[in-house]
Amino acid sequence: MALPNSLPPEFDRGVVTTVHQGDCHVSDASDLTYSTVLGSCVSACVRDRMANVGGMNHFLLAEQSGSARDRYGASARYGAFAMEQLINKVLTRGTGRKANLEIKIFGGGKINSALDDVGAKNIDFVRQFLADEGYIAASEDLGGNYARRVLFKPYSGRAFVKRLDSDLGASVAREEIALAKRRVVVPVPMVDIELF
């Protein structure tokens, strides 16, 4: 019998790589687990089911513009880049067939009432992005008022989500407030990426 706070056996061994905000990692290693902690941020986990290649990204839409034409603001270019980068890396290392992709999305919590609901904007963005590209998420754990730790096995596609207690959530919220006050936006590389 597993302890209530223990991990499933598949996640309790092997190499763990942390995915930080702005990161995008892809692998086919069977003993690798990607790990990230999300507050308002969103992570997508994308896997080519036939090639056993998968990856995880981690992004935050920093601010929304008032322009109807640019619904999610300039920072959405970063969200779109993060999603396109991950999908393209998995397609390149995998079979190259979009139909073989399995996508899981996580995060977007409202963990601090002092901030606008950035998490909801991130959720809206990632759902719209997937719909626009013709993808349907195989599973998701989005929203809520808590931070979460996400573990993802790129080889098998297994994901594990743990909702974090209020002390850890408060720490994530403090980091996000500090970023919001500095209005830090991760720069978008000046590279055009086209999904194939």
* CATH code of 139's domain: 3.30.1330.200
Q: What does the alpha-carbon distance between residue 70 and residue 76 come to, in Å, rounded to a whole number?
A: 9
pLDDT at 27: 98
pLDDT at 111: 83
pLDDT at 191: 43
Query: Residue with structure tokens 């990426």?
Result: 193
Number of domains, the chain: 1
Within a domain: 132: yes
Q: Is 45 a catalytic residue?
A: no
Q: What does the alpha-carbon distance between residue 43 and residue 59 come to, in Å, rounded to a whole number?
A: 6
Reading the block at residue 112, the tokens are: 């601090």
- Report pLDDT digits (tens) over 65-83: 445 445 555 556 788 999 9
B/e letters for 98-130, b = 16+ CB within 10 Å, e = fewer, are eebbbbbbbbbbbbbeebebbbebbbbbbbebb
pLDDT at 190: 42
Annotated active-site residue in 26, 38, 41, 151: 41
pLDDT at 156: 96
DSSP one-letter code for 101: E
Within a domain: 189: no
- Report pLDDT digits (tens) over 12-44: 678 999 999 889 999 999 999 999 999 989 999
Within a domain: 187: no
29: left (phi over 0), alpha (psi -120 to 50) or beta: beta
Within a domain: 9: no
Within a domain: 168: yes
Q: What does the alpha-carbon distance between residue 153 and residue 116 come to, in Å, rounded to a whole number?
A: 32
Within a domain: 194: no
Q: What does the alpha-carbon distance between residue 30 and residue 77 come to, in Å, rounded to a whole number?
A: 32
Within a domain: 196: no
Q: Please list, in sequence order, all residues whose beta carbon lies within 8 angstroms of the beta carbon of residue 83, skipping any fewer than 6 positions away.
A: 44, 57, 59, 126, 129, 130
Give the residues of the chain that fall short of pLDDT 50.
Answer: 1-4, 64-66, 68-69, 183-196
Within a domain: 3: no
Q: What does the alpha-carbon distance between residue 116 and residue 179 come to, in Å, rounded to a whole number?
A: 13
Domain ranges, residue 79: 15-182
